[in-house]
Amino acid sequence: MSGVVTFDGAPPPGTINLGIGQPSADLLPVDLLRRASESFFSEAQPLELNYGVLPGDERFLDSLGGYLSEGYDAAVDPESLFVTAGSSQALDFVSTVYTESGDTVFVEEPSYFLAFQIFRDHGLKVVGVPIDDEGMRVEALEVLLKQHDPALLYVIPSYHNPRGHCMSTERRVRLIELSQQHGFLIVADEVYQLLNYYDAPPPAFGTMIESDTVLSLGSFSKILAPGMRLGWIQTGPGLRERLLENGFVNGGGSINHYGSHIVRHAIDLGLQRAHVADLKRTYRGRVEAMHDALQSQFGELATWRRPDGGYFLWLRFEEDVDTAPLRDRARELETGFQPGFVFSSDGKLGNFLRLCFAHYDEDDIREGIARMRAMF
């Protein structure tokens, strides 16, 4: 054992892999979590290290509800929240509780590649729905609803992965209307909702749960630290009750009970708010550095939109460009990206690629883009 701390997918030394969708090490708040942990253990009681209450510790849910109320600019009832081990675990859990093998799930085309795997692991049929800069195209969805009876509709409404756009308020409202008419559930992956660098995004689906057809997924992975493995589901009382009835929860109590104590203290001490403010300042500088570098290096080769939040830029090349084979050349140049086909439900989108600005500082981002230019 070398003793070197790393992570899955870590690039070789000297490589600037702009395909990595994780925060840089300097943004992982060790001191913040140390202070929050010290605050917790200064007053901890033994039972706080037991299994915990099924939906999550009441004090944590109260703190989280207050934090989200501020971030969403709308009241969030703590009793609408359910603790998870992050959004991916939440998506897997939702698939377990609300679907059966053979069901159909609608996804945006493109969408987050891990969601495809989770749905297929549950034996679900994945059907892509076209999207544009305002989100899922409602007219295309309505056509597909005449052909399929989906159990779930999965969307990333704010600062989409990989496209970076925000779904318009009008389309959010229309999706809820269609969910009520056709009997499907909307699973809104809202992990980037609080990472806006300019204007605020449209209202979160988490503020629209009165329909009882919405499950909003949130996570501290993007706004605190991925290693905390802590997130939440926000939903109406009927859907929340079905989560509480699941054997996984009944058999082991609250998910990540210990981690929720640490994060509660981070919220109550004001550390979490200050950290997100720092993230926003840093990421705004990084997204602008990437956008400017792309204009300089790729202005005549590709098209893209600078996102107003989140982690990602989505580049479109001419139809005859296939980005997948370029990965080998990128490795030779000590850089990297995610090819478009991995975000497609049926392996298309070959002339697209995704870049992430979260994992490197501004100078490395500029250098990484310059190296990528040599692929063409």
Residue pLDDT, tens place only, 117-133: 999 999 999 999 999 99
Q: Where are the domains of the chain?
A: 16-30+273-373, 42-270
Is the pLDDT higher at 247 or at 221? 221
Tell how strand 231-235 and strand 214-219 pair up. Answer: antiparallel
Q: How far is CA 81 from the centre of its chain?
A: 17
Packing angle of the helix pair 257-268, 30-41 (nearest 10 deg): 100
Q: What pLDDT score was predicted for residue 223?
A: 98
- Which tens digit of pLDDT belongs to each residue from 240-291? 999 998 888 776 678 899 999 999 999 999 999 999 999 999 999 999 999 9
Q: How far is CA 350 from the centre of its chain?
A: 23
Q: How far is CA 234 from the centre of its chain?
A: 15
Helix-then-strand count for the chain, H and E: 12, 13
**Quick check: 125 and 144 in contact, CB under 8 A?**
no
* Topology alike, domains 16-30+273-373 and 42-270: no
For the segment(s) 16-30+273-373, the CATH number from 3.30.2320.80, 1.10.240.10, 3.90.1150.10, 3.40.50.20 is 3.90.1150.10
User: Cα(349)–Cα(53) distance, rounded to whole angstroms?
Assistant: 45
Res. 139 pLDDT band, cuts 50 70 90: very high
- Which tens digit of pLDDT belongs to each residue from 14-67? 999 999 999 999 999 999 999 999 999 999 999 999 998 889 999 999 999 999
Q: Which amino acid, one-letter code, is at 373?
A: R
Q: Please determine, looking at this structure, whether the domain spanning 42-270 carries the CATH number 3.40.50.300.
A: no
Q: What pLDDT score was predicted for residue 254?
A: 83
Assign 231 to helix, strand or coil.
strand
**Bridge partner residues of 187 (DSSP):** 154, 215
Whether the pTM exceeds 0.85: the reply is yes
